[in-house]
Structure 1
């Protein structure tokens, strides 16, 4: 009940009402500065500042008491406690305007901070939805559908095309291609055969396979992924406000100065004035105001920053870790090389033959070849005969020409040698991280088609800009060493960690953090979610990225434009500098006001006005500096 009342009073509508009543009390003070602390409008039977004190003072008192009870050690002393002391001191001498002013400024600060840090956390729910509900178990020669939670290690499961693997296991029978991007982020489905491992949550693309379960339920790879996101989420405690950190020093110093001023001057008014002007309201307002302004500017440039804490941390980042697929690259396959090994077959004819043969294929490599041919306006022919060996290749007849398209093992199994003259081309494609589809006719390999993910055109310039800002770039990817090395070379990234599972990405980030680096992780896939949570601050590719990655990250790039990363870093740097400047300015204003208070130039009422003016000045600087900076860094 008490908390509900407190939340109601601390809300925006009641704070607005408190501000109106404080303004009503301010008018007679401005009209008659010598009227003292009891001046109030003649048409009211009471001082309207009482309304402000009640509305804004009760939540502040509740917060101060709660922290005294629940916070450990020195953290019991907070900025809320100092302002409550100043409020009661001002009430005790009858200066209600001063009492209302300090608690109202704090209420506004609390609303600003809440507005900058509110964010929805739905990513874990989305991750849980990936877990399959049922599995097809083989028992006594019969198939039976059972709930996923009843699957045990040692069970034999049958996975049909298009189904999600319900548990980790080893393939006993069958061949297929598995989309395991949920675990590794690989852009290509991985061909699997007997003896190879499959992971829970991955998708069986083609052939039917039987697996022997090795890990199920809470021990499966997907559940482990979910737990890592949960653990990383729990480790991310909100950063304490600077005002509260400083309060452990401010409260004793303020009380000491107030007591000494009373001892030496014998004037209780001077002591109360010191408490009023010492309140860290401007210090509390500086951070959320600057952050709100920067977040608003970033939103106009397609960068969604979910919290002020993320923006502040981005300003301290010195290392940025990138995922590859879908982040540095588009995450889609394109034909990159068409190499003919037969003088009679040109590149155009090779593409025609391969695309016509693959026109019935459902394999991503085959689809990419067909798409390339259509984009080049190559007329295709329907194969008169078509047979597919899952995960290996296809046989097709085009105009009575017998064609084989597939990998080396598939050609060798069909009696087609891949001689030494072809190997250098294949090795070059492998070194560039590209997939290869060999094309054979009449027991002879006539060519190869290389396919690759596509690098984002702005990636190289982005890495160069970050390097100029003395930001270290690291590539963390589940792709092969060759693919990772090739794309790192194209972008200028020198630190590469390939073939990583999600937990290994987290370990790499933690290793960087343990050596003193402040790490930003940029990714787009489900498999990136634990790493995004483990990093000090994280950025997701919002347009193409998975919902889970976007929800797990602190910042989202809605246009998937990597050029926004240097912009984001510069804006964060400017915001952090603005916050530090505003805090320094607010402390200088407070120091000058304390001197004037000790000289008895200021009273609690005039001190409150000076305090208010200083807070407004800080707010204006904090609000407009990021806007001006955004115009500069985006140009």
Structure 2
């Protein structure tokens, strides 16, 4: 990467109120190489495949930037002069020069780290129920032992009380159930990283899902092919598009080639010539004609008109959350291909099962409104928020918990990390999820399959039921044994046997969780 400062321009750009006028004053020939740290106003050149080092504004060049790490958007976003780019995102195709606007601690990635740290500080901790009860049972038993000796004068009775009251069963009631439930969860693909995560999960009333990579596959797929007014069929249009995009490295291009290959049963023909236009699309020679495949701007730059009828069909496809790749040659568009990030095959059934547990599914995504609305409608989700920044997800979680609805957050990206940390329980996709997201979460989903999430919700509640049964049994047994010791029915030997029998029964009851699964309705 080449970095440099334009003489006198740096301060002008950082303080300019008119971005366009500042960009007009930019002179690319005045970039000079340096190895020092970036400061506001420096000009940096970002090459294909490199991560954007600081926040800034593009001053020269066109490209596509993968912003999934910050926004969760499933597809690269086209960028041109005047557009903003964020640190941590990845430049995919074209090189560009950018003016740094926020560096160091002010950059987006550093603000994300601070959000994760502050989110952890705001999470409430669970106080173990057995710890509160154990204090009182110890006090009661000691007082009973002293009073029994003072009243009866028999030291054996007092000693028997001290033998039977020892709260071993009470102390074992919670950890044995938690360990058994964790073993059950592991068998179903969940790695529980925090000991009290399942205890907190039992309090959840909302499960918030990120869209890309969580409810969807995270990869674009062709959902429809639409031919325009030219004498060309949809099959022929897909074949031409596959040939034009065959050498493309763009996710949309690869998806089109995969669809064309699947439809024809063979790989598309190689184009005679191929050129990629960063941020626009591709230009290729296919079957003796120049084919343009990409955005509307690409067609406009080469004088290809888009018929009104085709434009209306494009609007309808976009309303369903699709991304459009136009195809054209000659003097007009020949049609378009609609692509979208498809939902996982089991997502609908999983969310239905989540609702059956009494938990409300919610969609929180950084994608645009049309994509969010389409996915929410397809999955039957009534509550969703689109264009969410990490701060927006934190705000929604805080509002929900103030309303008495504990939140479990399920996500996979860096942009989900603050929400995973702040939520009552965070569940990260362990396979495709980023390291930061997994570290921030309480539970990792090893195989990225959300189908077992309803089981985990039910398991957490069953675990709490088991804990309460264990606590009730152990306390009842202790009080009965204390009463029998006070009356002289129990001696120390029999009292020891009763005490150990209670511990064994608690362990056996907890062990039943290892193979537990809710009965199918």
When normalised by structure 2's length, the TM-score is 0.91
Distance (Å, rounded) in 1 between the aligned partners of 2:431 and 2:137: 46
Partner of 1:52: none
Paired residues of 1:567 and 1:634 also in contact (CA < 8 A): no
Alpha-carbon distance in 2 for matches of 1:238, 1:508: 20
Q: Which residue of 1 aligns with 2:291?
A: 403
Correspondence for 1:612: 500
Q: Distance in 2 between matches of 1:233 and 1:528?
A: 13
- Give the Cα separation in 2 of the matches to 1:315 and 1:135: 53
Q: Structure 1 residues 583, 379: closer, same or farther in 2, change over 3 A?
A: closer
Counterpart position of 2:473: 585
Which of 553, 557, 560 is the aligned partner of 2:448?
A: 560
Deviation at 1:493, TM superposition (A): 0.7
1:510 to 2:398 alignment? yes
Alignment correspondent of 1:539: 427
Counterpart mapping for 1:305-320 below 5 A: 305-320=192-207
SS class of match (1:422): helix
CA distance in 2, matches of 1:151, 1:606: 77
For 1:87-486, what aligned pairs fall within 5 Å after superposition? 136-139=3-6, 141-146=30-35, 150-236=37-123, 239-342=126-229, 344-376=231-263, 377-486=265-374
Greater relative contact order (CA < 8 Å, ≥ 6 in sequence) = 2
User: When you count helix as a share of all residues, which structure comes out higher?
Assistant: 1
SS in 1 for 2:453: helix
Please provide the CA RMSD for this pair. Answer: 2.0
CA distance in 2, matches of 1:573, 1:170: 50
- Choose which of 494, 499, 503 in structure 1 pairs with 2:382: 494
Pairwise CA distance, 1:138: 4.2
Q: For residues 421 and 137 of structure 1, what CA distance do their matches in structure 2 show?
A: 49
Distance across 2 between alignment mates of 1:196 and 1:269:
85
Distance in 1 (CA, whole Å) between partners of 2:516 and 2:308 is 60
Give matches, 1:11-26, under 5 Å: none
Q: Secondary structure at the match of 1:360?
A: coil
d(CA) in 2 for partners of 1:229 and 1:319? Answer: 21
Cα separation, 1, equivalents of 2:106 and 2:126: 33
Superposed displacement of residue 494, structure 1: 0.6
Tell me how far apart the structure 2 counterparts of residues 143 and 273 of structure 1 sit (CA, whole Å).
Answer: 87
Residue 142 of structure 1: how far off its partner (Å): 4.1
Structure 2 Cα separation of the partners of residues 269 and 217 of structure 1: 72
Partners of 1:608 and 1:578 in 2: CA distance:
25
For residue 154 of structure 1, give the secondary structure of its aligned residue in structure 2.
coil
Contact kept in structure 1, 2:208 and 2:364, CA below 8 Å: yes
Task: Kindly state the Cα deviation for residue 577 of structure 1 after the two structures are TM-superposed.
Answer: 0.7
Q: Given that residues 134 and 170 in structure 2 are in contact (C-alpha distance below 8 angstroms), is that contact kept between their aligned partners in structure 1?
A: no
Task: Answer whether contact 1:318 1:517 (CA < 8 A) is retained.
Answer: yes
CA distance in 2, matches of 1:333, 1:366: 10
Q: Give the deviation of 1:556 after TM superposition.
A: 2.2
User: In 2, distance between residues paired with 1:603 and 1:307?
Assistant: 42
In structure 1, list runs of 5 or more residues that go unmatched.
1-133
Shift of 1:613: 1.1
SS at match of 2:232: coil
Query: How much does 1:541 deviate?
Result: 1.9
Corresponding residue of 2:417: 529
Q: Which protein has the larger Cα radius of gyration, Structure 1 or Structure 2?
A: 1
Q: Which residue of 1 aligns with 2:15?
A: none
Q: Secondary structure of the equivalent of 1:258?
A: helix
Q: Which residue of 1 aligns with 2:20?
A: none
Which moves more between the two structures, 576-585 or 524-533? 524-533
Task: State the 1:340 CA deviation.
Answer: 0.5
Which of 347-356 and 472-481 deviates more?
A: 347-356
Alpha carbons 2:141, 2:482 under 8 Å: kept:
no
Distance 2:335 2:156 in 1: 94
Task: Report the secondary structure of 1:483's partner residue.
Answer: helix
For 2:161 and 2:207, how far apart are their aligned partners in 1? 46
SS in 1 for 2:4: strand
Q: CA deviation at 1:277?
A: 2.4
Q: Is the 8 Å Cα contact of residues 570 and 633 (structure 1) preserved in structure 2?
A: no
Decide which moves more: 191-200 or 296-305.
Answer: 296-305
Question: Following the alignment from structure 2 to structure 1, what is the Cα–Cα distance between the partners of residues 515 and 487?
Answer: 39
Task: Structure 2: give runs of 5+ residues left out of the alignment.
Answer: 8-29
1:296, distance to aligned residue in structure 2 (A): 1.5
Give 1:444 deviation, angstroms. Answer: 1.0
Aligned to 2:510: 622
* Separation in structure 1 between the aligned mates of residue 291 and residue 415 of structure 2, nearest angstrom: 38
Q: Find the aligned partners of 1:496 and 1:339 in 2 and give their Cα distance.
A: 30
**Deviation readout 1:471-528 (Å, 9 max, x if unpaired):** 1110001111100110111111110111011222122111111111111111122221
* Distance of 2:230 and 2:50 partners within structure 1: 44
Query: Does structure 2 retain, via aligned residues, the 8 Å contact 1:520–1:537?
Result: yes
Q: TM-score, normalised by structure 1?
A: 0.75
CA shift, 1:139, in A, is: 4.6
Q: For residues 370 and 591 of structure 1, do their structure 2 counterparts lie closer, same or farther at Cα, with a shift above 3 Å needed?
A: same
